[in-house]
Structure 1
Amino acid sequence: MQKIISNFLLISNAVSNVICSLILGQRFHHDDPEFRGILDLMSRGLEICINSPAVLINIFPLLYYLPFGAFRELRRVERDITVFLKKIIGSHSNTLDPNNPRDLTDMYLMEMLAQQAAGEQDSSFTEDYLFYIIGDLFIAGTDTTTNSVLWVLLYLALYPDIQDQVQAEIDRVVDRRRPPSLTDRGSLPFTEATIMEVQRLTAVVPLSIPHMASETTVFRGFTIPKGTVIMPNLYSVHRDPSVWDDPDAFNPTRFLDGEGKLLRRESFIPFGIGRRVCMGEQLAKMELFLTVSGLLQACTFRLPDGAPAPSLHGRFGLTLAPCPFALCVSARCEDSFSPNAFS
């Protein structure tokens, strides 16, 4: 049976619920209006941060308080997300059972209380920091991983021969009656290479996250004063012709050696680099692998007959999301494991 889909809310819901399970100790039903509203707010907030005058806040912070347009909308988005997350933190504080921690939030609160009991006055474990950590994981983790999954599905629909190779590898390594697991990653190098190649081409966070120079630095003859906002251009690194052969081509084998084993490329940095690398990198890698391999084990993705090829330029917010597109999805085998992702 084949089904045409153009609304990928189930992907973002599923991805976000993984984050919610780990940091909030609960999952939300896909039809939950508050949950759906928060995801929409996150998406809108990230778009405002780049595709509106609000991007100037990084340079002129006082613009944040302007009472009109994108600046006012950004404050509203931030307020509503803050209310949602702080309500959950408050609920955790009121129901905390030190003998039965439910999630990351409980573990953090337990450490915070332990340090308070020990009389540590300068502890960095505070509810304010907890709010920022949860916000980073919840907002950044949902949007980036969702868009990464969608980009993978789009590229594999555009390159069905690559999709067939990925599915053949999964069929060869993984029992068709069980879902792929993290223990399979090392045995699925072509699948991993395909995911990495999509990440290279799309650079879901093309300008990374704004950083700030902690000290005045001279780099290649340029003086960067202390306090300067720095935006690393990951997209440029991933498309640099001096580093990558034919950088605009989709070629997963660039991440494989002559024996078909996975290659780690120094210039492949989708999560950033250095001390401020994305703190959710390992979680995102695991979630992306399991989601993509599970979907491809159960389903085949093709473009609708006669439909124009979707754009690969994407929609640029703080993250790079694919433009809306439709896919024909069909079950590969009735007796194989199926995550029922599109039921």
Structure 2
Amino acid sequence: MEDPVSSALLAAAGLLLALWWLLGRRRRPLQGLPPGPKPWPLVGNFAFALLPNPLVRKRLLNMDRQKQLPKGEGGAGREQQPLQQNPPHLLLTALAKIYGSIFSLFVGSRPLIMLSDFEAVRDALVNQAEVFSDRPSIPIVALLSKRKGVVFAPYGPVWKKQRKFSHSTLRHFGLGKHSLEPKIIEEFKYVKAEILKHGDEKFNPFPIIGNAVSNVICSMALGRRFDYDDASLKTMLKLMSRGLELSLNSHMILVNICPWLYYLPIYPFRVLRQIELDITAFLKTIIAQHRESLDSQNPRDFIDMYLLHADEERKIDSESSFTEDYLFFIIADLFIAGTDTTSNTLLWSLLYMSLHPQEQKKVQEEIDLVIGRNRPPTLVDKARMPFTEATIMEVQRMTVVVPLSIPRMASETTGKRF
């Protein structure tokens, strides 16, 4: 599968490079950028995305000062691992040790500024939140999201209206409130029953946890939950997971340089396009079902509330951004953004509890003391369970629940290195 793809990509890249030289499109490097690896013509710092796996990928980031992970970063065995073979967050961490906590990379001719320490991130996202609230137009993201929804949409009046409505409506259905507790507790009963089915046998908890978290989102957004063996839910979650995996594929980086590559009839572009179509069909079918059974006097969930609000908006403004098409992207955002973070935290917690039985015992003792064995936990118990809360926070500190932030764009010049 890899060879035909690589050959096609190399041929396309070679043609583009030839045109680049023939047209004499030599660009001077931007001035005033933070330090970083020297970019290649056309492809920037991502030339390794052009090469098939069998080829050695050293020197492609032109890191003349250091080609290996810094000593002490994960043990002696990892020190010999080429940077380009590491996950993106480890690669960026290693680059920060070489070029500093604020450094630059190029995707094609587009510069990216990476912030890798607490002070820089806080300065940008907290102290200057309004300036850094916008989203850059990244081709692969724009092709998939159409720059709609609330996660990847550009900052502006439309985004503000959509986010305000989404946030208030989700809170109406329990998000961040005690009223969501019954739905979570009810879902936990299904998790417990599913786990007990395996008895003493080994099993993978990932599907169970993923289904449970998705069902809590479904209860707010779709007004229903799905059985864990429901084919449509299982297919949907697999498609989203696979789509996210392909979106981070090294070949997909090339779409950010040459967007037309997305439409090539070869792997992985063809597969990602089909996943996009399948997810679209699934969610739009659910939206259509809600439209058919919509009762203005009894809205059941987020979709019903959105459809009713969209109808009212169109009476005032026929060009309103509240449309069924925009609703689709908001629902997709809820699944993608809401499922991974919670699922990853729970799965990492299971792993660390099994690796540290003494801490597991202390957590259980606190649960028994505060809650007992005859009722489920509630948010009211949180203030009386400092060790359990500290354990959850420590798991999130030690693990990579969300390794990379969603890209941001400055809406004005800050006068700083970023």
Tell me the TM-score normalised to structure 1 length.
0.60
Match of 1:123 in 2: 320
Q: Is the 8 A contact 1:24 1:104 kept in 2?
A: yes
Residue range with higher mean Cα deviation, 50-59 or 127-136: 50-59
Separation of aligned partners in 2, 1:205 and 1:145:
10
Match of 2:50 in 1: none
Match of 2:219 in 1: 21
- Structure 1 residue 29: Cα displacement: 1.2
Match of 1:39 in 2: 237
In percent, how many aligned pairs have the same letter?
59
Q: Deviations over 1:166-220 (max 9, x none)?
A: 1111111113201111222222222122112211222322112233343454433
Separation of aligned partners in 2, 1:83 and 1:124:
21
C-alpha distance 154-59 of structure 1, shift in aligned 2 (>3 A): farther
Amino acid at match of 1:165: K
Match of 2:264 in 1: 66
Residue 211 (str. 1) matches residue 399 (str. 2): no
Amino acid at match of 2:356: Y
The 3-state SS of whatever aligns with 2:200 is strand
Structure with more of its chain in helix, by fraction: 2
- Structure 1 residue 102: Cα displacement: 0.6
Calculate the aligned-residue CA RMSD, in Å.
1.9
Residue 142 (str. 1) matches residue 339 (str. 2): yes
C-alpha distance 192-59 of structure 1, shift in aligned 2 (>3 A): farther
Separation of aligned partners in 2, 1:147 and 1:210:
21
Q: Is the 8 A contact 1:25 1:103 kept in 2?
A: yes
Match of 1:162 in 2: 359
Consecutive aligned runs of 4 or more in structure 1 exceeding 4 Å deviation: none
Alignment of 1:1-343 (within 5 A): 3-8=200-205, 9-117=207-315, 119-220=316-417
Residue range with higher mean Cα deviation, 134-143 or 4-13: 4-13
Amino acid at match of 2:404: L
Separation of aligned partners in 1, 2:262 and 2:312:
37
C-alpha distance 70-211 of structure 1, shift in aligned 2 (>3 A): farther
Amino acid at match of 2:272: L
Separation of aligned partners in 2, 1:56 and 1:185:
47
Q: Deviations over 1:143-172 (max 9, x none)?
A: 332222111100111111111111111111
Does 1 or 2 have the higher relative contact order (CA < 8 Å, sep 6+)?
1
- Structure 1 residue 122: Cα displacement: 4.3
C-alpha distance 162-57 of structure 1, shift in aligned 2 (>3 A): farther
Separation of aligned partners in 1, 2:410 and 2:258:
16
The 3-state SS of whatever aligns with 2:201 is strand
Q: How many residues align?
A: 220
C-alpha distance 200-60 of structure 1, shift in aligned 2 (>3 A): farther
Structure with more of its chain in strand, by fraction: 1
Amino acid at match of 1:108: Y
Separation of aligned partners in 2, 1:5 and 1:27:
27
Amino acid at match of 2:383: G
Amino acid at match of 2:227: H
Tell me the TM-score normalised to structure 2 length.
0.50
Amino acid at match of 2:348: W
Separation of aligned partners in 2, 1:60 and 1:162:
50
Separation of aligned partners in 1, 2:290 and 2:296:
11
- Structure 1 residue 123: Cα displacement: 2.7
- Structure 1 residue 59: Cα displacement: 4.8
Separation of aligned partners in 1, 2:254 and 2:369:
51
Match of 2:187 in 1: none
Separation of aligned partners in 2, 1:60 and 1:185:
50
C-alpha distance 202-63 of structure 1, shift in aligned 2 (>3 A): farther
Q: Deviations over 1:236-286 (max 9, x none)?
A: xxxxxxxxxxxxxxxxxxxxxxxxxxxxxxxxxxxxxxxxxxxxxxxxxxx
Higher Cα radius of gyration: 2
- Structure 1 residue 58: Cα displacement: 4.2
> For structure 2, which runs of at least 5 residues remain unmatched after alignment?
1-195
Separation of aligned partners in 2, 1:61 and 1:13:
34
Separation of aligned partners in 2, 1:130 and 1:58:
26
Separation of aligned partners in 1, 2:373 and 2:224:
30
The 3-state SS of whatever aligns with 2:297 is coil
